[in-house]
C-alpha cells in the first residue's frame, strides 16, 4: 500500500523520510516544489496535488500549520476528498482546533473516508530521530490499522478518545510546555539577576522535582542564547490560541495560559516570532534588564 504524505515542512519532512527508511512507498506533495524534490531524492514519488496523492494511496498523512491549511488540503479544490476512494484513511498529524478535526471528519465520512487526528509532540529533534509522542483521536479499529505506521515516526502512539481527542490532548500538552518554559524563564532570570550562575542552578535542580523534559531540552539552548527554532514561537501562539478558544467553548478558565500567550505576543510584536519557543525567556530578560547566559548575567 502506498502512503501519501502532504506537508513537508520542519516536522513533515523528517517524518516522511523516516517512513521511507522503514521501507514504505511514499507519494508526497507540498506547496513548495523544492521540498518535494528533496523527498523524491530520498526515494518518494512526487504527487501533483493533494487530490493526486489521495488517488494513489490507501493511507494519507497530512502535516500542516493550522486548521485552515488542513481544511484547504483535505476539503478544498484538488483536495484529498476529491481523490480518495471509499475506505481510504486520512491521518491528520497537524496541530489544529479539535472542532475543525470533527468538522473535517464529518465531511470525509459522507464519502466513506475514515479519519484520525494524530498531532505530535517533541519538535524537530524527535521528528528526526522518530521518537515523537503521538496523540490520537478516532475509532479504535482505524487506529489499530495504522498504528504500526505511526510507530515508525514516534516512540509512542496513544488513542485518547473519539475524533478530536488527539488535538484536545495536544492542546493540554502545549499548555504544560508553555507554562514550563515560562517558569524556567522566570527562575533563570531571577538567578542571573541575583548573581547566581543559571547553569549551576540548572545542574542543581534538574534531577529534583523541578526537573522536566522541557527543562532538559530548553535550558542548554537558552544558556547559549540559541533560539534557532525546533518549534517556533508563532506556532506555539497558534496552539495557545486554539487552547484558549477550546477552553472558552467548554467553559474552562485557563488564566496562566492567557498570561503566557500575552508574553509570546509581545515577542511577536518585537519581531521574534520565528525564534524557538525557548526564546520566551527574552520577554523576562527585557523586564529584568538582564540576559541569562552560562557563567551568570550577560
- The C-alpha R_g of the chain, in whole angstroms, comes to 20
User: What would the grid cell of residue 47 be?
Assistant: 504527487
Q: Average pLDDT, whole number, for the chain?
A: 96
Residue 1 confidence (pLDDT) above 90: no
pLDDT, position 165:
98
Confidence label for 297 from pLDDT (cuts 50, 70 and 90): low
pLDDT, position 294:
87
Query: Three-state SS string across the chain, please?
Result: CCEEEECCCCCHHHHHHHHHHCCCCEEEECCCHHHHHHHHHCCCEECCCHHHHHHHCCEEEECCCCHHHHHHHHHCCCCHHHHCCCCCEEEECCCCCHHHHHHHHHHHHCCCCEEEECCEECHHHHHHCCCEEEEEECCHHHHHHHHHHHCCCEEEEEEEECCCHHHHHHHHHHHHHHHHHHHHHHHHHHHHHCCCCHHHHHHHHCCCCCCCHHHHHHHHHHHCCCCCCCCEHHHHHHHHHHHHHHHHHHCCCCHHHHHHHHHHHHHHHCCCCCCEHHHHHHHHHHHHCCCEECCEEC
CA 52 from centroid of its chain's CA atoms: 25
Q: Domains along the chain?
A: 3-162 (3.40.50.720), 168-297 (1.10.1040.10)
Query: Any idea which residues carry the catalytic annotation?
Result: 170
Beta bridge partners of 46: 28
This prediction has a pTM of 0.91
Helix (H) / strand (E) element for 4: namely strand 3-6
pLDDT, position 187:
98
Chain segment 124-147, per-residue pLDDT in tens: 889 999 999 999 999 999 999 999
Confidence label for 298 from pLDDT (cuts 50, 70 and 90): low
Chain segment 65-123, per-residue pLDDT in tens: 999 999 999 999 999 999 999 999 999 999 999 999 999 999 999 999 999 999 999 88
User: What would the grid cell of residue 100 be?
Assistant: 475543525
* Nearest CA among 185, 179, 180, 136 for reference residue 156: 136
**What is the mean predicted confidence (pLDDT) over 45-60?**
98
Amino acid at each position: 500500500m502506498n502512503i501519501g504524505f502532504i506537508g513537508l515542512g520542519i516536522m513533515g519532512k523528517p517524518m516522511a523520510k523516516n517512513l521511507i527508511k522503514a521501507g514504505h512507498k511514499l507519494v508526497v506533495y507540498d506547496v513548495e516544489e523544492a521540498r518535494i524534490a528533496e523527498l523524491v531524492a530520498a526515494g518518494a514519488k512526487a504527487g501533483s496535488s493533494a487530490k493526486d496523492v489521495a488517488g494513489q494511496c490507501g493511507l494519507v498523512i497530512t502535516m500542516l500549520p493550522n486548521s485552515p491549511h488542513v481544511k484547504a488540503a483535505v476539503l478544498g479544490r484538488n483536495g484529498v476528498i476529491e481523490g480518495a476512494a471509499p475506505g481510504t484513511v486520512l491521518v491528520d498529524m497537524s496541530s489544529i482546533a479539535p472542532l475543525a478535526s470533527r468538522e473535517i471528519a464529518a465531511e470525509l465520512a459522507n464519502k466513506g473516508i475514515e479519519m484520525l487526528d494524530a498531532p505530535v509532540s517533541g519538535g524537530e529533534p524527535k521528528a528526526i530521530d522518530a521518537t515523537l509522542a503521538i496523540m490520537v483521536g478516532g475509532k479504535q479499529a482505524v487506529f489499530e490499522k495504522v498504528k504500526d505506521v505511526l510507530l515508525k515516526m514516534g516512540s509512542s502512539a496513544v488513542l485518547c478518545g473519539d475524533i478530536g481527542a488527539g488535538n484536545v490532548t495536544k492542546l493540554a500538552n502545549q499548555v504544560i510546555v508553555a507554562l514550563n518554559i515560562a517558569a524556567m524563564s522566570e527562575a533563570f532570570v531571577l538567578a542571573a539577576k541575583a548573581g547566581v550562575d543559571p547553569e549551576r542552578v540548572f545542574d542543581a535542580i534538574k534531577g529534583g522535582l523541578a526537573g522536566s523534559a522541557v527543562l532538559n531540552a530548553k535550558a542548554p539552548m537558552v544558556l547559549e542564547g540559541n533560539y534557532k527554532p525546533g518549534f517556533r514561537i508563532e506556532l506555539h501562539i497558534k496552539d495557545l490560541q486554539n487552547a484558549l478558544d477550546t477552553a472558552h467553548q467548554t467553559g474552562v478558565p485557563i488564566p496562566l495560559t492567557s498570561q503566557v500567550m500575552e508574553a509570546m505576543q509581545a515577542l511577536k510584536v518585537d519581531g521574534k516570532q520565528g525564534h524557538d519557543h525557548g526564546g520566551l525567556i527574552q520577554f523576562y530578560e527585557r523586564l529584568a534588564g538582564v540576559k541569562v547566559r552560562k557563567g551568570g548575567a550577560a
